[in-house]
Structure 1
Amino acid sequence: MTSHVAPLNRIRVGSAPDSWGVWFPDDPRQVPWRRFLDEVADAGYEWIELGPYGYLPSDPAVLAAETGRRGLKVSAGTVFTGLHHGPAVWDETWAQVSRIAALTEAMGARHLVVIPSFWRDDKTGKVLEDSVLTAQQWRDLTRQTERLGREVRERYGLEIVVHPHADTHIDGAENVARFLDATDPGLVSLCLDTGHYAYCGGDSVKLIETYGERIGYLHLKQVDPEVLAGVVAEGVPFGPAVARGVMCEPPGGVPALEPVLAAAQALGIELFAIVEQDMYPCPPEKPFPIAERTRRFLRSCGV
């Protein structure tokens, strides 16, 4: 007797350069971009994100040809921002956002993933600023994010989705709720990364059920609870935590993805669910078998 899984027909699954250990535009320890495109298609994915700007070709004609012949389409671009620093950083922020948004739009994508800046260095762990924002910084963060949402939509036709992330000021349940409550739902949606949210102690299903109308995009990821316990106990920064294997291959970690996907399907909207398994740095032969197995697992979940 075979078990039948109801198809989650509103959820479109993809993967990203991150799942191939790609964190930087150029790094000798990362797989070359052509290999990433070949392998992500061979693993059974149709949708990809752009990853760090400059890793994939930034000429839309070249990128369209390279993705098109592999049957791939782009779901989103990604930007890093420090908007809690207020209007003073707007021009610098917009300079990089506009470049990435233009490529994202040219590739037919509709979303721009916005990641807040880190309060401690991703590689060295050096503390760059206080991990807690002041009331004024919260006001700047929320107002400038709304401005970003408005400008990106008006100029490029894209929706921003803000990505709660470990070692940033928008991380676990308390800060995510504060951020959502202080921003306009018409301008700012969330990219819920199930791994980062669990890493920071959050419950993805509860977030989807509580703030469903704010969920605009998903990143599918799991954490290894044992590795995470050590990371938390020792105060290990995110970069070294990834090198320890804190993000693990599903279905071996938390949160369980089946209930997350079911909760997302119940929202009744079209959603991208992009697999991201942080593993920088990693041997070049490591990502592809994991990507294949993960795609098989997600099919077994109905997507």
Structure 2
Amino acid sequence: MGRVAIGTAPDSWGVWFADDPRQTPWPRFLDEVVAAGYTRIELGPYGYLPTDPVRLKDELDQRGLTMTAGTTFEQLHRPDGWESTWRDVARTAELTAAMGAKHLVVMPSMWRGDNGEIVEERLDHEGQARHGQAVTELGRRLAEEFGLRTQYHPHADGHVDTQDTVERFLEETDSAHVNLCLDTGHISYCGGDNLELIRKYPDRIGYLHLKQVDPKVLAEVEAEGLSVDEAVRRGVFVEPPNGVPELPPVLDALAALDVDVFAIVEQDMYPCAPDAPLPIAERTLAYLSTAGGGVSS
């Protein structure tokens, strides 16, 4: 049986941006991660945590924390997207690697804006193929220059979001350079099937984000044609076990793959009250610790 090693992320403390007065200050985030019982974190948006690698490593070491991955977005579906993507990705990758992490979680650009408007055309099959080739090249360079494994994160309202686009993406990318960060909440939000993806692509599951969706809120959001950002503000992502998908079957399916994988709790809560994240994080870790699937905190 594989080991599913649990961690958490700034996102679960309401952090979406490098600097926002509504967000939890980074020292409090790190202190509360420890208080909740976690020993692993993600970097979060570049610039939220200290970007000086010596200082950041010292802050983590003082608290007994390790970093599993950095997170970033890409714009590689655009003909002129490589330069801007590489600029943002490279700085995140450099800091991530300096922390001893081995993964970089990469997310797609959005086709729908915060107000629900369509800001870009959806990719056709030709566009998906070009995008997959570009992401494969990104993964190759990240491995070569930083020693990082690229884990691609489908995202609601992003160019890789639904079950069809996720499967198409996996077909258009090279597993030697790109695998999947399976975000259970975003897959369910977009009507996908997490267990089916694990069953069909067991060798492509390289990393995991754990979250759940409130079906009632999701139905309201879909009926009104709202963006995922607005859905988050309405509380579409909820702490387990209060939403879908059921996490024990997902964790069991992962453990059955007989590989070790990081599973990062990432409950989107932007913005949120400053005292809300810690008790949720404590309850979530307690729940996951008894959910089966070879979970290790």
Instruction: Please state which band the TM-score falls in when normalised by the shorter chain.
Output: over 0.9
Q: Could you tell me which of 101, 109, 116 is aligned with 1:125?
A: 116
1:290 aligns with 2:283: no
Structure 2 matches for 1:152-301, cutoff 5 A? 152-301=142-291
Q: Distance in 2 between matches of 1:205 and 1:127?
A: 30
| Unaligned ranges ≥5, structure 1 | 1-7
Structure-2 residue corresponding to 1:3: none
Offset at residue 136 of structure 1 (A): 3.4
2:211–2:267 CA contact under 8 A, matched in 1: yes
Structure-2 residue corresponding to 1:38: 31
Offset at residue 138 of structure 1 (A): 1.4
Given residue 60 of structure 1, which amino acid in structure 2 is its aligned partner? P
Structure-2 residue corresponding to 1:111: 103
Query: 1:278-303 CA deviation, whole Å, 9 max, x = no partner?
Result: 01000100000000000100111142
SS at 2:86 equivalent? helix
Q: Distance in 2 between matches of 1:227 and 1:202?
A: 17
Q: Distance in 2 between matches of 1:17 and 1:79?
A: 13
Q: Which runs of 4+ in 1 moved over 4 A?
A: none
Q: Distance in 2 between matches of 1:68 and 1:151?
A: 29
Structure-2 residue corresponding to 1:76: 69
1:16 aligns with 2:14: no
Greater alpha carbon shift after TM alignment, 51-60 vs 90-99: 90-99
SS at 1:27 equivalent? coil
Q: Distance in 2 between matches of 1:208 and 1:135?
A: 23
Q: What is the root-mean-square deviation in Å for CA atoms of aligned residues?
A: 1.0
Structure-2 residue corresponding to 1:4: none
1:118–1:169 CA contact under 8 A, matched in 2: yes
| Unaligned ranges ≥5, structure 2 | none
Structure-2 residue corresponding to 1:27: 20
Given residue 62 of structure 2, which amino acid in structure 1 is its aligned partner? R
Given residue 87 of structure 2, which amino acid in structure 1 is its aligned partner? A
Structure-1 residue corresponding to 2:43: 50
Identity percentage of aligned residues: 57
1:85–1:140 CA contact under 8 A, matched in 2: no
Q: Distance in 1 between matches of 2:224 and 2:115?
A: 15
Offset at residue 9 of structure 1 (A): 5.7
Query: 1:139-180 CA deviation, whole Å, 9 max, x = no partner?
Result: 221111010010000000000010011001111111111111
Structure 2 matches for 1:140-151, cutoff 5 A? 140-151=130-141
SS at 1:95 equivalent? helix
SS at 1:29 equivalent? coil
